[in-house]
Amino acid sequence: LGEGGIPIVKSEVETGPMWLKARDTLNCICDMAEAEDVVFTLENLNLLDHPGCPFGSTAAVLALVSSINRPQLRINLDLYHTQIGEGDIVRWCEKCLPFIGEVQVADNPGRCEPGTGEMNWPNIARALFDMGYRGPVGLEAFAQNDPEAALVAFRRAFTL
């Protein structure tokens, strides 16, 4: 990705060769991760904010990561991007659950802290907990006003 998260080479459709190259590349990354005893995550994006981004959906990232199916590669499930690209957040969390390495949070619209947009964060947090997710949840958002208040809102949304 280049300036502003826009793809340098845009592609509206992923071709078969692109899928094969992505799988080969991610398998090489997994080999390196295994040698270093680390885990990499692949973030889902959305095509509204990142037009022309290949594999720019939750569905595509899940398909890639699950087809590789190695513990060194997980999904950085960005719920802001999922909301814009696909919606149906809780069902996507369920589908991605076995492959989630991290969940990222920002409200929509505006990409600000929980409680500033349309997303029901306490419901999403409860659903993640109920389905057994215990991994990291990160706030990747802009503070609507006060950064400290944004952190408080994040903690409040994810404290059960």
- Catalytically active residues are 43, 140
Q: How many CB atoms lie within 10 A of CB 103?
A: 22
Backbone angles phi, psi at 43, to 5 degrees: -90, 135
The DSSP string of 99-111 is GEEEEEE--TTTS
Query: 40: which 2 tokens?
Result: 């990499």
Distance CA 122, CA 140 (A): 17
User: Is 112 strand, coil or helix?
Assistant: strand
Distance CA 7, CA 74 (A): 22
Which residue(s) pair with 100 in the sheet? 75
